[in-house]
Structure 1
């Protein structure tokens, strides 16, 4: 499949299929075509996300979601005008359409700006990232009888290094790591690694759950921060995540993965005395699942109790009970790599392999 063809998607395709295709495309846009292969619209991950957050059916089709007010150019386009529009809109590609509505070419940024001009770089993320790494990782035994879970190998790096590097390339240079189990090994690893970013430690004298260690940062940070488990690798646009969090004025934004499940059996619903009420043959279900990554307003850390076992899900409930805003940021299942259990770890290794 050529790069041109990889950007095309038909109207009847499922939205989740489109989300997967978008994540595989470096242009971050798809061109939607009808059954005659004529251009009818464009689709971005932002379009899909707005559809999901607006209550749209995750079994919906691309034609219901796409933007039909899209930018394209005719066959006799003027290069100077194309350059102007691409700069203004940060377009990585522009379709060339003939008089009958067929895409005859796609102009890519690197080809249009042959002088090496680059897209406007995203600003560095000026916020700290906290990696919760104090757990024993018992689901990964016997690996974790020797190594702490953050140091489990993922390719030629450790899990925590892969996670932190994904933020470092976005300009994050301030990390906090909560530690308890085999903490000296984790600290020794980073001492030897000597990364370009700063690593500070939140020491737990006893296990404090997925959120208890955050009390140590209460009153010490301003603005927003990202909190992530040490066993999840999220392939997402972190700039877009933080922008969404701030635009929605959320106190907490939870990154969720859209998961599709197929039950290969007939599902029976019963009523009193075991009488069959209905039966659904091999149903399909879609759920939004917590990935273990969050964006928090730093003032929320004041709610974390001192020296108490406390999960981030408890913080979410405490914020909601006080009338705070807790939102979600959906990503596809392929953008969430889990290394916390053996099956998921093996699947992650196969996907990265």
Structure 2
């Protein structure tokens, strides 16, 4: 392990920190000033900043914890107890000059058993028109990404966290979907809700009345979220949300010079290839069963429209922000190819 990979300057941007967290695939970075360790910043620190301030232009120094936990080399044998006591996932080990000489990670010390035995609903009934001509032959949930279809990738990830009960809302080429999951070997249960008519990404939930009576996860069938599902679920419960929407950072660079025109028709401002950062809906949600029970049978409605209704009614709707790297979307052909290459590299 190269310690330098986990170091970030306090004047770096929050977006730099999010990108580096994705790269090292851990939940913490250590902040330096003139190459000396002074603070720590975690994915949780960044998430709380975003939810509290909503400012994507922040610097690491605005967010970091300048009273970080650490131990010295001669106390290294007490690291496990120290980490457990303070509920921390990574602990820097310092020499006498307070420079980091090693990092101890909680997951390296203790096997973490993931347990999230909640129902998962996959909206798998769409026509997949953006993926034509593939979807002329196969329903979107069965389009292969590598050796297995996208729907199986989705189910496998939730299954790794302990989920064993899956509901697929199906319509287009539904018999092919059922045949596939009936044939494969699996130690989880797949149930189906048949749409006679397309009901949208929300309306199909009405078909599950009486079948789900606890908090559940809802996901589109063309996305993968590479995040800690337990943390998302725990956040939803802690906040007391009716619905929590998982939102991903998006960073877009416009490949043109952008001109702003004033009221007199003159150029007011010119921006050469500007960059924009914002959060967008990934298509994954944590949802309370009340939402299913209150849906009208047979109503075609998108899930974002359901969210808007509850929001206007004063219900608590939350957001769980994730990094751009943590969201894989195969909704379009070029994105599907990116997903395939990423999964081949990671798996």
User: Could you say which TM-score interval applies, normalised by the shorter chain?
Assistant: over 0.9
- Which position in structure 2 is the counterpart of 1:345? 336
Distance, in Å, in 2 between the alignment partners of 1:56 and 1:38 is 29
- Which position in structure 2 is the counterpart of 1:131? 122
Aligned-pair CA distance for 1:6: 2.4
Aligned-pair CA distance for 1:176: 0.3
- For the 8 Å contact 1:138–1:144, the answer to whether it is kept is yes
Residues 1:140 and 2:131 are matched in the alignment: yes
> Secondary structure of the equivalent of 2:201?
coil
- Which position in structure 1 is the counterpart of 2:258? 267
Spell out, residue by residue over 1:236-276, the C-alpha distance to the aligned partner (whole angstroms, 9 max, x if none): 11001011111111111111110011123332222335233
Residues 1:33 and 2:32 are matched in the alignment: yes
Distance, in Å, in 2 between the alignment partners of 1:119 and 1:65 is 30
Residues 1:332 and 2:323 are matched in the alignment: yes
- Which position in structure 2 is the counterpart of 1:307? 298
TM-score, reference length from structure 2: 0.93
> Which is further off, 7-16 or 256-265?
7-16
Aligned-pair CA distance for 1:198: 0.7
Distance, in Å, in 2 between the alignment partners of 1:110 and 1:292 is 29
Q: Aligned in 2, Cα 1:298/1:346: closer, same or farther, shift over 3 Å?
A: same
Distance, in Å, in 2 between the alignment partners of 1:302 and 1:317 is 17
- Which position in structure 2 is the counterpart of 1:246? 237
Q: Aligned in 2, Cα 1:292/1:68: closer, same or farther, shift over 3 Å?
A: same
Please tell me the root mean square deviation across aligned C-alpha atoms, in Å. 1.9
- For the 8 Å contact 1:131–1:175, the answer to whether it is kept is yes
Q: Aligned in 2, Cα 1:78/1:138: closer, same or farther, shift over 3 Å?
A: closer
Distance, in Å, in 2 between the alignment partners of 1:290 and 1:25 is 25
Aligned-pair CA distance for 1:280: 2.8
Task: Choose which of 85, 102, 116 in structure 1 pairs with 2:82.
Answer: 85
TM-score, reference length from structure 1: 0.92
> Secondary structure of the equivalent of 1:194?
coil
Distance, in Å, in 2 between the alignment partners of 1:27 and 1:291 is 22
Residues 1:94 and 2:86 are matched in the alignment: no
Q: Aligned in 2, Cα 1:273/1:217: closer, same or farther, shift over 3 Å?
A: same
- For the 8 Å contact 2:49–2:63, the answer to whether it is kept is yes
Spell out, residue by residue over 1:292-349, the C-alpha distance to the aligned partner (whole angstroms, 9 max, x if none): 1111111022332211221001100111121111111111111111111111112212
Spell out, residue by residue over 1:43-98, the C-alpha distance to the aligned partner (whole angstroms, 9 max, x if none): 2111110111112421222222111221111233251x323112334544321223
- For the 8 Å contact 1:151–1:160, the answer to whether it is kept is yes
> Secondary structure of the equivalent of 1:223?
coil
Kindly report which structure 2 residues correspond to 1:65-80, keeping only aligned pairs within 5 A, or say none: 65-77=63-75, 79=77
- For the 8 Å contact 1:27–1:92, the answer to whether it is kept is no
Spell out, residue by residue over 1:198-253, the C-alpha distance to the aligned partner (whole angstroms, 9 max, x if none): 10001001111111110022344223111000000110110010111111111111
> Secondary structure of the equivalent of 2:74?
coil
Distance, in Å, in 1 between the alignment partners of 2:296 and 2:229 is 28
Q: Aligned in 2, Cα 1:108/1:236: closer, same or farther, shift over 3 Å?
A: closer
- Which position in structure 1 is the counterpart of 2:17? 18
> Secondary structure of the equivalent of 2:53?
coil
| Count, aligned residues | 344
Q: Structure 2, unaligned stretches of length 5 or more?
A: none
Distance, in Å, in 1 between the alignment partners of 2:256 and 2:304 is 33
Distance, in Å, in 2 between the alignment partners of 1:345 and 1:96 is 42
- Which position in structure 1 is the counterpart of 2:45? 47
Residues 1:121 and 2:119 are matched in the alignment: no
